[in-house]
Amino acid sequence: MSLELAMTPLTEFILLSVLGSIFTILFSSPWRPWLMKRFSLHSIPSFGLFKGFTLSSPVLSGSTSNHHTTDVISRQKFDTIHNLSDCHEVASSFSNLVNQDGAGSWPPKSNHDESTWPACLQAYKEIYHEMAPLLPAENVSLDDDTNERRIFEFRSLFTQLLSQKVNLAEVERLLQAADAGRWDVFPRDVYNGFYCCVAWCRHAYRWASIPVVRLAQLEKSIAFPDELTVPWNSMQMHFGLDSESGNNMSNLVLNFSTSGDYTLKINTGLSTLIQSSEEEFARIFHEVEVIGVPIYSSIVESIVAHARGDKVASLEHVRDIKDQLRPLLSSYYDRVHDAKIAKSVWLSRVQGFYAWGVGHQNSTNGEWEKFDGLSGNQVLLFQALDAFLGLEAYLPKLIQERNVPRLQRRFCEVVKKHGFRDELGDEGVDGKIKREFEDIVKRLRVFRSAHRTRAKVYLTQPAPERLPMTAGKSLLKEDMDQSLLFLDQFMVGRLQQTV
Ligand code: HEM
């Protein structure tokens, strides 16, 4: 019989009391800092004793619905960083990111409960509910005329609903209030939820049919209804971005409610296999940011400790980053395989929605600007780690400015500026820190080579309805073999730079 079953209420009460006393004594002893650190990194075996209590351990797999468990650890980390804000710009930069874009939390709080939204924004959510079931096609057609009709009908209905239901003047007033810092009338968590909702609407309008079809891929530009352009431009300006397309933040990270639920969907009404593949994929991007909090915090703390000349503390923090990298990368390793994200559905049913591939003529220089969609290369965690290791950014500046929010870019710049890896000697504590850095590099290299192999498997699945395309690099070469060679250059190149 398991320990959990054998536990009577009385023994449970006694054990909890004894454990509670031990914890209280230990936590009020000089061991407190050590304990806080240990228990924030490893889950405590509960034997069913802590049902209903909050443990401060990161979510390692499964759903982030038990994300409340991370709140305690995150709160402690945010407080630590916030307290360091006055003494180091790397701390103030992370604090700003959390307080502003994150609405006081990380991953950012995203309020998807439209009943709490200002009335004029609720119309967008209503439209989402009407349009979402019409987006996926159970049986995709290879016939251009059929697809053209389908796309036309979807966009016409979308446009009609937007003009009937949205009071754009009111929406604009609200956005202006936010620009003026009136977060009391437009709370930041609602702003984030709304940003995600508009991003979903734009991607749905752009493709009008999932699976994405050849005809839509060949479009060069699209005239979006004002109701989807005006708020988008305003919010993009707020986040310091200038792409027509959504990004990793708007479409993936913010697509999880404050209770960890995956919210706006691509494949409403289709099979469980399709829907769960879609959700598992999206969940990685949210979870990486959940588990990333202790890593960001250790990056900041190690830099601050180094600046103070406290090498031993710096070593501890760099070691923590290495240790935390394993559960974080598990979020990827445990999901990016056929059992969780079905190869047979990902390319056609999931990836296409996140692509973009249309643009406009730049009014200043007259050149044609085409925007790409989402890619894992926009994930903050990898950019921050690269910066900490002293590697050049993977994404060129122009692409960052399109897809990586300003405060995230700023954090990475400051991490790079104060990174100290190249100042380390070979001996003593310096040598130990150096070896921890090397271990971080090794783990990243393993991730990058695994990613190269796994990405290829997913990208080579048959999708006769479309041309070769990735979400992050838009239309590729004529055939898949050439396209893969092209993509492989990025992946191999990054692997070689990861030293
Ligand atoms: C099956 C799903 C995926 C496929 C097919 C895929 C494919 C690719 C491709 C082709 C590239 C290189 C081109 C580019 O920069 O866009 C890339 C880059 C990248 N991807 Fe993915 N990706 C997938 C999922 C993910 C996930 C879940 C993550 C992490 C959360 C991720 C993280 C990255 C990163 C960080 C880069 C930049 C290069 C690097 O740092 O090594 N990808 N991906």
76-91 pLDDT per residue, tens: 899 999 999 999 999 9
Place of tokens 């409403």: 268
CB of residue 490 inside a 6 A radius of ligand 1:
yes
Does 19 map to a domain? no
Phi and psi of 262, rounded to 5°? -70, 130
- Residue 480 is predicted with a pLDDT of 84
Average of pLDDT values for 257-270?
A: 97
State if residue 240 touches ligand 1 by the CB under 6 angstroms criterion: no
d(CA 55, CA 75) in angstroms, rounded, equals 13
Contacts of 338 (CB under 8 A, 6+ apart): none
Separation of CA 134 and ligand 1 centre (Å):
29
Number of separate domains in the chain? 2
* Domain presence at residue 83: no
- Same-domain check for residues 283 and 168: no
Residues 287, 231 within the same domain: no
Ligand 1: residue whose CA is nearest its atom 37: 377
Contact 484, 473 (CB under 8 A): no
Question: Is the same domain home to 154 and 221?
Answer: yes
Decide if pLDDT at 48 tops 80: no
The helix, strand and coil proportions of the chain, stated in percent and rounded to the nearest 5, come to 65, 5, 35
The tens digit of pLDDT for each residue in 91-111 reads: 999 999 999 999 999 999 999
Strand partners, 369: 360
Candidate of 377, 399, 489 to mutate for ligand 1, largest count of ligand atoms within 8 Å of Cβ: 377
**Ligand 1 centre and the CA of 378: distance in Å?**
9
Helix (H) or strand (E) holding 361: strand 359-361
Query: Is the per-residue pLDDT at 53 higher than 60?
Result: no
Cα separation, 389 vs 385, whole angstroms: 6
Q: What is the pLDDT of residues 335-369, one digit of tens each?
A: 999 999 999 999 999 999 999 999 999 989 999 99
- List beta partners, residue 474: 470
| Nearest atom within ligand 1 for CA of residue 472 | 16
394 lines ligand 1 (CB under 6 A): yes
Question: Does residue 254 carry a pLDDT above 90?
Answer: yes
Ligand 1 within 6 A of 498 CB?
Answer: no
Average pLDDT over residues 188-192: 98
Q: Are residues 320 and 376 in the same domain?
A: yes
- Which tokens in the block code for residue 369? 């600007």
Query: Do the Cβ atoms of 456 and 340 come closer than 8 Å?
Result: no
Q: Cβ of 490: how many Cβ atoms within 10 Å?
A: 16
452 lines ligand 1 (CB under 6 A): no
Ligand-binding site membership of 203 (annotated): no
Name the pLDDT band for 70 (thresholds 50, 70, 90): low
Domain that holds residue 206: 114-255
In a domain, 18, yes or no: no
Say whether both 232 and 307 belong to one domain. no
Rounded distance between C-alpha atoms, residue 31 and residue 19, angstroms: 16
- Asked if 236 and 322 sit in the same domain, the reply is no
Reported ipTM: the value is 0.99
Tell me the CATH number at 473: 1.20.58.480
Q: 435-488 pLDDT, tens per residue?
A: 999 999 999 999 999 999 999 999 999 999 999 889 888 778 778 888 899 999
473 in a structural domain:
yes
Q: Say whether both 297 and 196 belong to one domain.
A: no
| Cα Rg of the chain (Å, integer) | 24
Q: Are 460 and 453 in contact (CB under 8 A)?
A: no
Ligand 1 pocket residue status of 379, Cβ below 6 Å: yes
Pair 331, 241 in one domain: no
Domain end position, chosen among 220, 255, 290: 255
Clarify whether residues 249 and 289 are in a common domain.
no
Pairing mode, strands 359-361 and 474-475: unpaired
Residues 249 and 282 in one domain: no
pLDDT, mean of residues 152-178: 98
**Inter-axis angle of helices 188-207 and 144-165, nearest 10:** 150
